Structure 1
Amino acid sequence: MSLRAQLDTEPDKGERRSASRRKLRLEVEGVSASTSQTQVVIHDLSEEGLLVESPIDLVAGELLEVVIPEAGTAQAEVAWSSGRFFGCKFTQSVSTAAVSAALLRSPSENQKAPNAEVVEKALIELEALSFAIRRVTKAVDQAIDRLNQKKD
């Protein structure tokens, strides 16, 4: 099986994840309970999880198996989705060596994928959406707290 990848360091932006993410483009085999084997693209990888692009629709809670260099087949649970993009958390963390192995399989910057700009824009939009969701969640929590205080 051949693997092609592009990997960049993601700067720390007050990230709430427990592990540093690395941006990449790694084409691997993926399998879920609802589909047969298919080619997926990993765009973001850490020891704890990944952002995957799949031509197959996946749902939150669904388990996805992907082949990670040096880790072999890793199982991850879909946490969220946006179009063809799915945020997943590994059921068992992968090693730092596996993340590094993905780095070693990265093509040079001038071999960047043709749709890299589209993916970068999607990631920016997902970050903005994540911020908005946290803000709304905080407002809802505060409203619930105020309602609970009125009951007392």
Structure 2
Amino acid sequence: MVISAYLQSPDASSGKRRAARRKLQLEVQGAHATDIVTVRIHNISLTGMLIECDAPFAVGDMIDVDLPHAGTVATKLVWTSGQLFGCEFESPISPAALAAAQLRGDTAPAMAGEAKLQNEAIATSGAFDRFGANLKRLRIAKGLSQADVATALDVSAPSISGWESGRARPKPDRMTALAALLDVSVSQLIVDIAAEPYDELIREGRERIARATGASPEKIRIYIEV
């Protein structure tokens, strides 16, 4: 599904066009606006969305998204790849707001195109390096085993193990289904900004110790006293 939207330019009177927060509105038939940037929304979820536009955004930029049944939702850009931007809502929207937004989508099927865009974003953003760790953390937080995820996605359990270890990556359509299963946006699944930096340090330390001792990383336990 693709949802058409438009991005209003920041208020020029502020003198800080780059820093000013911009507003994204879903397209309403018959409505017209001036000085706007056309936006295509791909894969909107309760926690974020993937958008495509030619605005000069950067990671960390904020936009206000105007959604039906949700009002204005503060949104942060968490990763970029060309004209693709992964966005995370400051607070999750309600299922009713999500359904209302999805009803604005194009009626023609767009799953193949959406999956292609997501796959390109993963491949070119460099964010896939953290995907395996993000997947494992989000899976455990959801209380799911690798077997549970494999059954839900109709793949083998070794496939999930391969994704989490970085030996393989899911196909684009699996990525969408995986994000839905874990109740997160695709952008959060790729780049989980909720993860604390020390998680990555601990993972790297565990792997280095495992290589030095010949043990499996899963057998290494690191304890931090504070």
Output the TM-score relative to the length of structure 2: 0.44
Partner of 1:80: 79
Offset from partner CA, 1:37-58 (integer Å, 9 cap, x none): 5332110111111111121021
Aligned-pair CA distance for 1:96: 0.8
The amino acid of 1:65's aligned partner reads D
Structure with the higher fraction of residues in helix conformation: 2
Q: 1:135 to 1:52 in 2, by over 3 A?
A: same
Offset from partner CA, 1:68-106 (integer Å, 9 cap, x none): 222232220000000101111111221111111123233
The amino acid of 1:26's aligned partner reads I
CA distance in 2 between counterparts of 1:118 and 1:74 reads: 26
CA contact (8 A) 1:28 1:66 kept: no
Aligned length: 122
CA distance in 2 between counterparts of 1:85 and 1:100 reads: 23
CA contact (8 A) 1:30 1:64 kept: no
Partner of 1:102: 101
The amino acid of 1:29's aligned partner reads Y
Does the alignment pair 1:29 with 2:6?
yes
- Partner of 1:134, secondary structure, is helix
Partner of 1:61: 60
Q: Which range is displaced more, 36-45 or 116-125?
A: 116-125
The amino acid of 1:41's aligned partner reads R
The amino acid of 1:134's aligned partner reads F
- Partner of 1:45, secondary structure, is coil
What aligned pairs does 1:1-152 form with structure 2 within 5 A after superposition? 24-31=1-8, 34=18, 37-108=36-107, 111-112=108-109, 117-127=112-122, 130-134=127-131, 141=201, 142-145=203-206, 146=208
CA distance in 2 between counterparts of 1:103 and 1:92 reads: 18
CA contact (8 A) 1:28 1:67 kept: no
Structure with the higher fraction of residues in strand conformation: 1
CA contact (8 A) 1:28 1:68 kept: no
Aligned-pair CA distance for 1:67: 2.2
5+ residue gaps, structure 2, are 11-16, 23-35, 135-164, 167-199, 213-226
The amino acid of 1:25's aligned partner reads V
How many percent identity over aligned positions? 27
Aligned-pair CA distance for 1:130: 4.4
CA contact (8 A) 2:5 2:39 kept: yes
